[in-house]
Structure 1
Amino acid sequence: MLTLEATCTTLSDSNAKYLAKVTDLESRSRWNNIRIIGLPESIEGPRPSSFFSQLQFDILGKDVLSSQPEIDRTHRALIGKPVAGEKPRTVIIRLHRYQQKELIIREARAKRGRLMFQGSPITIYEDYAPELMVQRTKYRGVMTELYKLGLRPTQLFPARLSIRTKDESRMSFSSVSEAEEYVASTRTDSP
């Protein structure tokens, strides 16, 4: 029985290590990807890479992108095609140059809620692995509280929280519980 328990412990540790490695590798393979939400189905036509390259150039403008971004490949999210009236699938785009991806993401954050295509709002996000998204989503509640306190939280890769305090110093948290403790202590310190 002791041998079996030791083997299970070893296998469990190995499994956790390999799961972390696979998540890291998947995240790295998505490094140049962006997601666009809100674009109608089938607007891209027979040449989606050309269409989405021109679309980004038109939406973000010449002042952000000096030329159309090079796109390696593009596709819709791998779910069933929606019927009429349902939300369109997300577009996933792999950009050839990481620097262009960063420019696009930075501008999309600055214009959040103001990017439009044919009168419909669209949003552009970074593409993360599903396991990583679960980890990052855990910070939503505490980030809301930090915004209410007048602080400026940002999420760092893979799933860490950083804030800029009112005196412009930076603090970093590696877990949600650390951030929640900081929020609680900040509330009690406030008059």
Structure 2
Amino acid sequence: MGSSLVNYANKVDQRLLQLELTYSALQGDNDSLKVKVADLEGRSRHQNLRIVGLPEGIEGPRPSMFFSQVFVEILGSEILTSPRELDRAHRSLAPKPAPGGKSRPVILRFHRFQIKDLVIHEARRRGELTYKVHRIRFYDDYSPDMLKLRAKFKISMAELYKQGYKPALLYPARLRIILPNGDKTLLRSASEADKFVQALNTNP
């Protein structure tokens, strides 16, 4: 009787272990699929730029023309020798704020991705930008799903920084880590990043 119970308990343990392994694999696959779907939507936004900090209505009745000129004024003619073509420019679809309320972000679509890439890299290099006393910030226009996927790396990245690593969150949602010996490793999902951190904590 006793040996039967032990055998039964061992079988249950094995099944639980198998279920945990299967769940872990499915979770990784699910994360990868979410990244692929979000990536497809992200590609449609690849030429978009989001600007935060400009007052409502400053763009006037012709926003595309206004922002084409704004980039030249902010970044200088040594970066953009002339206003560049924008396919469209508009405020986000959130309700218009009351007077004195927080302004909505501006979403722009550049006609050429190379120009958008140049603008955002220059903005990041400079750090702080202003336009007529207004402090503004430039961001990639990620979809809500993509933002959620990228946010999942936040805890593991904080832990990696704490331990002296240099993680970098790549597009669409992958984590590149520079190891102490200079090698690089690429983690393709948040669950992979969590496992990597757990392994570090288990084997310091």
CA distance change for structure 1 residues 50 and 150 in 2, over 3 Å: closer, same or farther? farther
State the Cα distance separating 1:76 from its structure 2 match: 0.3
Identity %: 47
CA distance change for structure 1 residues 96 and 82 in 2, over 3 Å: closer, same or farther? same
Aligned-partner residue type, residue 111 of structure 1: R
Distance 2:200 2:36 in 1: 36
Which stretches in structure 1 are left out of the alignment for 5+ residues?
Answer: 1-17
TM-score by length of 2: 0.74
State the Cα distance separating 1:136 from its structure 2 match: 1.0
Report what 1:115 is aligned to.
129
State the Cα distance separating 1:180 from its structure 2 match: 2.8
State the Cα distance separating 1:186 from its structure 2 match: 4.0
Report what 2:48 is aligned to.
33
Paired residues of 2:42 and 2:142 also in contact (CA < 8 A): yes
Distance 1:37 1:78 in 2: 14
Query: CA RMSD of the aligned region, Å?
Result: 2.4
State the Cα distance separating 1:38 from its structure 2 match: 0.9
CA distance change for structure 1 residues 178 and 122 in 2, over 3 Å: closer, same or farther? same
CA distance change for structure 1 residues 73 and 175 in 2, over 3 Å: closer, same or farther? same
Given candidates 156, 180, 183, the residue that maps to 2:194 is 180
Distance 2:202 2:126 in 1: 35
Structure 2 residue 157 is the aligned partner of structure 1 residue 151: no
Greater relative contact order structure (CA < 8 Å, 6+ sep): 2
DSSP-derived class of the 1:89 partner: coil
Matches within 5 A, 1:133-148: 133-148=147-162
Distance 1:169 1:19 in 2: 28
Give the structure with higher Rg (CA): 2
Deviations 1:65-112 (A, max 9, x none): 233221110000001101123211010000011111111121222223
Matches within 5 A, 1:1-191: 23-112=38-127, 114-186=128-200
Deviations 1:43-84 (A, max 9, x none): 001111111111112112233323322111000000110112
TM-score by length of 1: 0.78
CA distance change for structure 1 residues 118 and 166 in 2, over 3 Å: closer, same or farther? farther
CA distance change for structure 1 residues 149 and 120 in 2, over 3 Å: closer, same or farther? farther
CA distance change for structure 1 residues 187 and 95 in 2, over 3 Å: closer, same or farther? same
Distance 1:42 1:85 in 2: 12
State the Cα distance separating 1:117 from its structure 2 match: 1.9
Paired residues of 2:35 and 2:172 also in contact (CA < 8 A): no
